Amino acid sequence: MNMTLNEQQMKPSPSPGTHQPEGALSQTALGSTLRPFGLLAELTYRCPLRCPYCSNPTQILSDQRQPELTTSEWQRVISEAATLGVLHLLFSGGEPLLRRDLPILVDSARTVGLYTNLITSALGLTQRRLQELREAGLDSVQISFQADEAALADGIAGCPGAHERKLEAARLVNACGLPLTINVVLHRGNIERLPALIALAERLGAQRLELASTQYLGWAFCNKVALLPTRAQVQQAETIVRAAQERLRGRMEVIYVWPDYYAERPKPCLYGWGRRYLTITPEGEVLPCQTARIIPNLHFDNVRQHSLAWIWQRSAAFERFRGSHWMPEPCRSCPLREQDFGGCRCQAFLLTGDAANTDPACSLSPHRARLLAILSEVEQQSGSSSSFHSPFAPDGQPLIPILFRTNPKSCPGE
């Protein structure tokens, strides 16, 4: 696939190996007028889990050709992020606890005034480690759960014993006084456990429960037919979530990220490409979203060669899908183009072969039939729109072929 870049986007980057100095910015660069709110710091792709919906690259082993950023490199990036306007720093991965310098990085973020959140599987989150992070200035912890029952949860995660360790870690977080968010990625293997998952978050004393429908990118795209719930399941889940939000109002915040495969309009992916968020990979590439590297013919600059400000403000990859000038019809003349921003660029690429196309999650997309064909296959595999066939047995064993995440390294502490 070839994408045509405008003249501003085609301006060459400085040669690799030199740190780009600050300079006068083009008046046409939208990035010069925007300030990022959040930074997702993917410290490593190493992880104890093998979740089949992971957003890390499917070529995870070959993508580790370059070494991870060093402690000092991350410290510089954190300082630059604060100067750029970032307020919220999320430490993620892989499993960020595998970085032994994590407390140092948390302390660096506190020093420059950033709010920090640890996004973790919680494997390796011992009382001593948690105390180190709390003393370093960590503000909150988000723990992922795959299901409410150990056998099913461990089967989905591909890591025996993980669920019980997560439960203990959640208790430790509560005991140390840090705010706790429970995150559950919803798919056909656990969506009918939704009432029990909400009850689990209540028992664990979470301040926030994030129920995130699987984003069918990365490993999840490989498993989309196995993991996509039926329309009936999605409708039932929405009813359950609305009731929980009302019942738990003032006690626990319940956030629901809906699956736009079943919507008429796409989600405003990260509130627009390169508008509010950025991701830094373990080896230092800066992305508008964490899965953007699947789009060919885009070069993502690295913090080892350029300042974060230069990349945010002048990188051709960030400018490529900013604003609405690049949009084809029907997006170009749509009154909602500044609300949904044409949907997800990665989803558009995976479903149509061209990242500039209208996201097929939109009912007006000329490529809508490609998404509908996937949904039809899901319904056929499930038997009917009202019946349920989980891809996992109650003991967590897959009942149909599922591609589990590949890992460069297994569990923490080994």
Highest-pLDDT range among 59-63, 267-271, 282-286:
282-286
**Which tokens go with 180?**
């706790």
> What percentage of the chain reaches a pLDDT higher than 90?
79
For the cut 80, the answer to whether the pLDDT of residue 4 exceeds it is no
User: Looking at residues 17-40, what average pLDDT do you find?
Assistant: 61
Question: How many C-beta atoms lie closer than 10 Å to residue 124's C-beta?
Answer: 17
For the cut 80, the answer to whether the pLDDT of residue 200 exceeds it is yes
For the cut 60, the answer to whether the pLDDT of residue 51 exceeds it is yes
Q: Does 362 belong to an annotated binding site?
A: no
User: Looking at residues 188-204, what average pLDDT do you find?
Assistant: 98
Q: Could you tell me the pLDDT band of residue 269, with boundaries at 50, 70 and 90?
A: confident
User: Looking at residues 123-151, what average pLDDT do you find?
Assistant: 98
pLDDT tens digits, residue range 371-392?
999 999 988 877 644 445 789 9
For the cut 80, the answer to whether the pLDDT of residue 58 exceeds it is yes
- For 222, the enclosing helix (H) or strand (E) is helix 218-222
For the cut 50, the answer to whether the pLDDT of residue 68 exceeds it is yes
Q: What is the pLDDT of residue 316?
A: 95
Q: How much is the mean pLDDT over the chain?
A: 89
For the cut 90, the answer to whether the pLDDT of residue 293 exceeds it is yes
Q: What is the pLDDT of residue 34?
A: 87
**Which tokens go with 45?**
């792709």
- Cβ(116)–Cβ(140) below 8 Å: yes
User: Looking at residues 243-248, what average pLDDT do you find?
Assistant: 98
Q: Could you tell me the pLDDT band of residue 8, with boundaries at 50, 70 and 90?
A: very low
Residues facing 90 on adjacent strands: 40, 117
> What percentage of the chain reaches a pLDDT higher than 70?
88
User: Looking at residues 138-153, what average pLDDT do you find?
Assistant: 98
Q: What is the pLDDT of residue 180?
A: 99
User: Looking at residues 102-128, what average pLDDT do you find?
Assistant: 98
Q: Does 159 belong to an annotated binding site?
A: no
**Which tokens go with 65?**
């050709």
Q: Does 411 belong to an annotated binding site?
A: no
User: Looking at residues 208-232, what average pLDDT do you find?
Assistant: 93
- For 174, the enclosing helix (H) or strand (E) is helix 162-176
Q: What is the pLDDT of residue 30?
A: 66
Q: What is the pLDDT of residue 385?
A: 41
Between strands 286-287 and 277-280, the pairing is antiparallel
**What domains sit in the chain, N to C, each tagged with a CATH number?**
35-382 (3.20.20.70)
Report how far residue 194's alpha carbon sits from residue 248's, in angstroms, rounded to the nearest whole number: 15
Say which range, 205-209, 387-391, 399-403, has the weakest mean pLDDT: 387-391
Q: What is the pLDDT of residue 267?
A: 87
Q: Could you tell me the pLDDT band of residue 66, with boundaries at 50, 70 and 90?
A: confident
DSSP string, 53-80: T--S-TTTTGGGSSPPPPHHHHHHHHHH
pTM of the model: 0.88
Q: What is the pLDDT of residue 408?
A: 61
For the cut 70, the answer to whether the pLDDT of residue 306 exceeds it is yes
Say which range, 11-15, 107-111, 382-386, has the weakest mean pLDDT: 11-15
pLDDT tens digits, residue range 314-367?
999 999 999 899 999 999 999 999 999 999 999 999 999 999 999 999 999 999
- Cβ(279)–Cβ(295) below 8 Å: no
Q: What is the pLDDT of residue 318?
A: 96
Angle in degrees, 0-180, between the axes of helices 102-111 and 71-84, rounded to the nearest 10: 30
Spell out the residues 6+ positions from residue 156 whose beta carbon is closer than 8 angstroms to its own: 51, 52, 146, 147, 189, 190, 392, 396
Q: What is the pLDDT of residue 332?
A: 93
For the cut 90, the answer to whether the pLDDT of residue 132 exceeds it is yes
Strands (E), 136-188: 140-145, 180-186
